[in-house]
Amino acid sequence: MKNNEKFQTDVEMVPKALRDQAQTREPEEEAIGLYRKFTTTKQEPVRLAAALRGFFLPEAEDQEKEAYGIYLKSRIRPAVEALIDGDDVEKLEELESLGWLDGKNLDSFIRIARQKQKNAALVWFLHLKKEKNGFKDRDFSL
């Protein structure tokens, strides 16, 4: 198995495992465990999944959210791809409200959503592109 395929498999498996663990824990306990996992692991798929889950967890402390935010902002493309995979449009909206989704990446996010056949994310990204800078390279006049 190629490294890229293994990474993609890990990216798909880790969030599911974290969700399964969350069902057996109290929210505060989950927040502590996620941050511990985030700060100690050397595996990028685990770190990305922990950061994504912890960043949107209401029980996370402010300093933890700040650490998650710094990490996610530096890894915005894989983070957005993971959210597209999970059909998490609400979380994409939150990242957009923080100003993290810039126009130069929108076309690649649209392409990813289209390739993965994630229609909710695709429609949301198309609306976002229209709002931000329109479709300058297309003429839709009749």
Q: List the domain range (segments joined by +) for residue 51.
A: 3-74
pTM of the model: 0.77
Query: Could you give the number of structural domains in the chain?
Result: 1
Q: Quick one: pLDDT at residue 90? A: 96
Q: Quick one: pLDDT at residue 44? A: 92
135-142 contacts, C-beta under 8 A, 24 or more apart:
none
Does any domain span residue 55? yes
Does any domain span residue 52? yes
Percent of the chain with pLDDT over 70: 76
Banded model confidence at residue 29, pLDDT cuts 50, 70, 90: confident
Does any domain span residue 44? yes
Q: Quick one: pLDDT at residue 31? A: 85
Q: What is the mean pLDDT of residues 95-123?
A: 93
Banded model confidence at residue 14, pLDDT cuts 50, 70, 90: low
User: 110: phi > 0 → left, psi -120 to 50 → alpha, else beta; which?
Assistant: alpha
Banded model confidence at residue 25, pLDDT cuts 50, 70, 90: low
CB atoms within 10 A of CB 88: 20
Does any domain span residue 116? no
Q: Quick one: pLDDT at residue 15? A: 58
Q: Per-residue DSSP letters for 68-98? A: HHHHHHHTHHHHHHHHHHTT-HHHHHHHHHT
